[in-house]
Amino acid sequence: MPELQALVRIRRSSPTLTSEERAVWENLQAEERVSTARAAKYAAAINGSSLPQLTELGAFAQRHKWEYLAEALHLDKTEPQVPDTFDAALNGANHWPDIDNDVALYRLEDLSFALDKSSVDAAEMLQAIDLANNASADEPSRERARAVLLRVTRDWNDGRDRRPLFATTHDEVAALLATSGAGWAEALRDELGLGHYDPKPGAPVTVILMRYTVRDVRQCKAAGAQAFCIPTVLDGTVNSCFVPTPIPGPAAKGSEWQMGRAINLAATSEADYDTRMRAELVHSYVDYRPEHLVRWGLISRPARRNLAQLRTFHLSWLRLLTDRDTGAPFDTDLAHV
């Protein structure tokens, strides 16, 4: 997309460029996993020929969201086409077909989204989550709690579309969840690079931890197409806390790079950063069920981050672990691409 590259060059030359905006333009230049066919579809959707005329990131982000994502990924369950992410002809090289059915997946959801169209209020829902997951509670009480959660998930599922869902695996976060205590939600936000959960002081965000299996995703008929994929810049909204995963070189451990790697917002040094690069993947729609809601928590602390420094840590380890010390763009400082 030469027009997109022209826009990137224009915007990156701005003397007032923030680290957040620079990250977005760098990602667009560094992304290697978008096929030629998908790039052509994307260019047509966002009117690529007019891109160099845009003067701010917000305008590009809106076009990306409403002209591409809304039409190609955020599809209603009644629409016959497959979201581009899960279309083998457009994105098949990034699909991961061999993930085991019993692998548990974790995802954070915003309570406000869950209750958007529900007759259940927040207090009732949170109490139900606690009770349904309390093994020492009596069974009649737990059954009543599950009934409340069934009402929530039915209404929630009815309002959801088939967009790709970002998730991680049990092995990546089990120890963190077991040791973080009451601060588990903020710890998970930081470790998974979920920078959009960035509350203002005095306005905490309530989140729900969802746990389900690969089998649950594969058995969901409402999805239309089941797939697990390495995320690309086209699989979600414009996001400065996302880093595309390069195509690994010949000496890399291939299976480790069938998932992406999330930027760690809590890192303070590069020395041990590789041990904290949590895996991330996107998968097709799954119907939520009561048993998928396993706990809730509060994110009160803003996402403190030095994004430029964190990206330096992340990209340095990506180059090393994917055997990409040679081969642009990951063999160079992206600030000079």
In the predicted model, is pLDDT for residue 58 greater than 90? Answer: no
Cα–Cα distance for residue pair 76/160, rounded to 1 Å: 8
Query: pTM here?
Result: 0.93
Average pLDDT over residues 84-89: 96
Angle of helix 2-12 relative to helix 19-30, nearest 10 degrees, comes to 150
- Judge contact between 222 and 286, C-beta under 8 A: no
Angle of helix 184-191 relative to helix 170-179, nearest 10 degrees, comes to 140
Cα–Cα distance for residue pair 235/95, rounded to 1 Å: 13
Average pLDDT over residues 48-56: 76
In the predicted model, is pLDDT for residue 331 greater than 80? Answer: no
Nearest Cα residue to 307 out of 27, 108, 57, 22: 22
Cα–Cα distance for residue pair 219/164, rounded to 1 Å: 16
Confidence of residue 29 (pLDDT cuts 50, 70, 90): confident
pLDDT for 252: 77
pLDDT for 295: 97
pLDDT digits (tens, 9 = 90+) for 184-212: 999 999 999 999 999 998 899 999 999 99
Residues 6+ positions from 32 with CB-CB distance below 8 Å: 244, 246, 247
Question: Of residues 25 and 257, which shows the higher confidence score?
Answer: 25
Q: Where are the alpha helices (DSSP H) in 13-86?
A: 19-30, 36-45, 57-63, 70-72
Average pLDDT of the chain to the nearest whole number? 90
pLDDT digits (tens, 9 = 90+) for 278-319: 999 999 999 999 999 999 999 999 987 789 999 999 988 888
335 to 8, 25, 26, 200: CA distances (angstroms): 12, 10, 8, 30
pLDDT for 94: 94
Confidence of residue 218 (pLDDT cuts 50, 70, 90): very high
Task: Give ∠ CA 281-286-287 in degrees, rounded to 5.
Answer: 155
pLDDT digits (tens, 9 = 90+) for 122-142: 999 999 999 999 999 999 999
Task: Record the tokens describing residue 212, joined without a space.
Answer: 């389900």
262 secondary structure, DSSP code = -
Cα–Cα distance for residue pair 308/22, rounded to 1 Å: 9
In the predicted model, is pLDDT for residue 332 greater than 70? Answer: no
- Give the least confident one: 7-11, 50-54, 130-134, 184-188: 50-54
pLDDT for 337: 39
- Judge contact between 165 and 259, C-beta under 8 A: no
Task: Give ∠ CA 150-154-156 in degrees, rounded to 5.
Answer: 115
The sign of the torsion formed by the CA atoms of 271, 29, 253, 283 equals positive
pLDDT for 327: 55
Average pLDDT over residues 15-38: 90
Q: Where are the domains of the chain?
A: 2-336
Report how far Cα 177 is from the mean position of its chain's Cα atoms.
Answer: 19
